């Protein structure tokens, strides 16, 4: 269970990401939805407080590289998001949430740098949950076909809560 200090840190990161997004309502809504699903899945899967804090911050900043990708490359394809986002995370988090432990910042940076590299998840529950939460939102926002969602359900989703949400949301 997160304490008040952890919740305040999450709020600081949320507010900083809204500012960072410079009025891009799609980006803001996306990070809020991914954060909401990640927080729910993390609580239901009984993450420790430190794991939950790490997950929620990673969910908020997972697409931090998108604005620079649009500017530099004209798109936000996964590998480019990972590369550009990983470069931004440490300084961004140190600016907006100075109290965050270096261990948390390092883990968040790793997650941002790999959140489209599904083959690297392994047994990392925080990574798994972040990917599941992001997929739940992306499937809706990008109107993924039912066969894609069914395939991802079988091949990628592992948490009980993520599977429940995916099945209920997309009527699998």
How many of the other CB atoms lie within 10 Å of CB of 88? 17
Please report which confidence band the pLDDT of residue 166 belongs to, taking 50, 70 and 90 as the band edges: very high
CA angle, 71 then 77 then 81, to 5°:
70
Q: How many structural domains is the chain composed of?
A: 1
Identify the CA nearest to 64 among candidates 32, 97, 34, 21: 21
Tokens linked to 61:
């900043």
Quote the pLDDT of residue 1: 85
d(CA 108, CA 112): 6
Task: Give phi and psi for 159, each to the nearest 5.
Answer: -75, 150
Determine the pLDDT at residue 126.
98
Answer yes or no: is pLDDT of 172 > 90.
no
pLDDT, position 101: 95
Q: CB count, 10 Å around CB of 2?
A: 18
Q: Are 131 and 152 in contact (CB under 8 A)?
A: no
State the chain's mean pLDDT as an integer. 96
The model's pLDDT over 87-126, given as tens digits with 9 standing for 90+, comes to 999 999 999 999 999 999 999 999 999 999 999 999 999 9
Q: pLDDT tens for residues 22-35?
A: 999 999 999 999 99
Give the three-state DSSP class for 123: coil
Which SS3 state, helix, strand or coil, does residue 63 take? coil
Structure tokens at 41: 């899945």
Judge contact between 61 and 108, C-beta under 8 A: yes
- Here the CATH number for the domain that contains residue 63 is 1.10.3210.10
Task: For residue 25, give the H/E element and its range.
Answer: helix 25-44
Containing domain of residue 8, as a range? 4-170
Contact between residue 64 and residue 83 where contact means Cβ atoms under 8 Å apart: no
What is the pLDDT at residue 151? 96
């Amino acid at each position: 269970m997160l304490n008040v200090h952890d919740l305040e840190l999450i709020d600081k990161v949320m507010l900083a990401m809204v500012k960072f997004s410079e009025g891009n309502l799609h980006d803001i809504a996306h990070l809020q939805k991914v954060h909401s699903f990640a927080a729910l899945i993390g609580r239901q899967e009984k993450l420790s407080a430190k794991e939950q804090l790490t997950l929620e911050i990673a969910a908020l900043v997972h697409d931090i590289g998108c604005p620079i990708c649009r500017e530099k490359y004209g798109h936000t394809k996964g590998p480019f998001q990972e590369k550009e986002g990983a470069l931004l995370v440490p300084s961004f988090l140190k600016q907006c949430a100075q109290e965050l432990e270096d261990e948390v910042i390092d883990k968040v940076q790793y997650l941002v740098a790999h959140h489209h590299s599904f083959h690297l998840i392994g047994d990392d529950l925080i990574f798994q949950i972040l990917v599941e939460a992001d997929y739940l939102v992306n499937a809706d926002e990008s109107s993924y076909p039912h066969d894609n969602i069914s395939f991802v359900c079988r091949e990628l989703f592992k948490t009980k809560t993520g599977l429940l949400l995916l099945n209920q949301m997309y009527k699998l």
